[in-house]
Each structure stands twice: as structure tokens, then as C-alpha cells.
Amino acid sequence: MQTSTPADGFSFVVASGLPDSSFGEQGTGSGLIVSFDTYDNAGGEAPAIDVFYKGREVATRKFPIAVLRTGDAFVQVGVRLNRNGTVDVYYGDTAVYYKLPLPNFTPIDNPRFGWGARTGGLNDNHWMDEVQIAVNTQPPETVLTIGLVGRNVQVSWSGGGTLQSAPKVTGDYTDVPGASSPYVTPATGTQMFFRVRQ
């Protein structure tokens, strides 16, 4: 069941508080939306693969409808939301978006994932299989700062991990036993180097 001109497309959504109600190719909510818009609503906006974030369109990229309409063939699609607030979208062999920055990015807590689609007078089929979702696959970024507090050296870092120190910048680095951030130690000796092992 599909019309020769397909409509309207489908969307993949990642958001906190994603409602149970249905939604269309434009997605819903204020999280990340990847929209596969197959129908030109007279605005010349489609066929296209679009990214929305926090309710605003971040990027749009046009494709011939023959690329988005694959008949009986499945096309591998990948969406990767990176910890630094960029998103990658793959469609078949095409990197549709790579390291696309999401403005005012904040991590999506308690995410819900959903797909939506919409039809009107025209319609289409969308098939999915082998769906895989993985979360928190990237280690947190570590930012290490060091400074003097009185006669002590204070080493602070974010993102957890184990503090290591070495007498030379090239090592050998060994774990600092029991050190947690902020780590304060007397400023003795001529030099000491620190790093954090994740």
C-alpha cells in the first residue's frame, strides 16, 4: 500500500519525556529528531533528511526521492549522538551529517526513543529491522586543572578516573593511591607531572 508519490515520511526521536502519543515525520518534543521527509509540501523542503534539536531545525539535506525510496531493499541507517553535543547520521554509504553541532546542547537524561510516521492523501510503507540502541558508549571527557593552594599543590579533575603521577612528563606514570578530586599534596621536590587514567 503505497502511492506512486510517497508521503509524508518518518522520524526517529530521542528525548526526555517523549510522549506516548503518535507523531509524524517532523517528530515531536524538544530532544533530537532525525526526520526522513519524503514529501515536498510545496515548500521545496523535501525529499530530505533533516535534524531538529530543541524544537528548531538544525540542518537539512536534500536527496532524490529514489535514494530515500528503496523498494524491497533495506538501507543501514546510523544515528550517533556524541557526548560533545554533535550528531552523526549515516544513510547507507553516505555520511549525511558528521559532527553536526547541536546548538545549546545539554545531555538527554532518561532518554526515550521513538519512531513516528504520517500519511495524508498519499501514503507509503516504512519497514525496520535489526534495531540496535546503545547508550553511554563514550567515556566522559576529562578536564584536569592544577594550581597552588598555599604551599600545597591542588589537582582537580572531572569525569572520574584514577590520578597518576610521574617525575618526568614522559613517565613512568603510577597511580596515586587513594587520590580523589581535588587532590592536595605538599609542593615538594623539583617537579611532578599528573594525568588521569580512565
* Residues constituting the chain: 198
Minimum CB separation of residue 43 from Ca ion in Å reads 7
Instruction: Please pick, from the candidates 23, 39, 63, 91, the single residue that binds Ca ion as defined by CB under 5 A.
Output: 39
User: Is residue 37 a contact residue for Ca ion (CB under 5 A)?
Assistant: yes
Question: How far apart are alpha carbons 88 and 189 in whole angstroms?
Answer: 47
Binding piece for Ca ion, criterion CB under 5 A, among 35-43, 78-86, 143-151, 157-165: 35-43
Q: Are the CB atoms for 182 and 144 separated by under 8 Å?
A: no
Instruction: Please pick, from the candidates 2, 5, 41, 138, the single residue that binds Ca ion as defined by CB under 5 A.
Output: 41
Binding piece for Ca ion, criterion CB under 5 A, among 30-38, 150-158, 167-175, 179-187: 30-38
Neighbour count for residue 165 (Cβ, 10 Å): 17
C-beta closer to Ca ion: residue 34 or 46 = 46
C-beta closer to Ca ion: residue 37 or 124 = 37
Residue with CB nearest Ca ion?
A: 37
Residues 46-75 interacting with Ca ion (rule: CB under 5 A): 46
User: Is residue 5 a contact residue for Ca ion (CB under 5 A)?
Assistant: no
Minimum CB separation of residue 35 from Ca ion in Å reads 6
Q: Is 72 exposed, middle or buried (0-12, 13-18, 19+ CB in 10 A)?
A: exposed
Minimum CB separation of residue 49 from Ca ion in Å reads 10
Question: How far apart are alpha carbons 131 and 142 in whole angstroms?
Answer: 31
C-beta closer to Ca ion: residue 37 or 155 = 37
Q: Which of 113, 114, 96 is nearest to 47 (CA)?
A: 96
- Cα pseudo-dihedral 120, 123, 125, 126, rounded to 10: -40
Question: How far apart are alpha carbons 154 and 167 in whole angstroms?
Answer: 17
Question: How far apart are alpha carbons 16 and 5 in whole angstroms?
Answer: 34
Question: How far apart are alpha carbons 79 and 90 in whole angstroms?
Answer: 6
User: Is residue 14 a contact residue for Ca ion (CB under 5 A)?
Assistant: no
Minimum CB separation of residue 76 from Ca ion in Å reads 23
Q: Binding residues for Ca ion, per CB under 5 A?
A: 37, 39, 41, 46
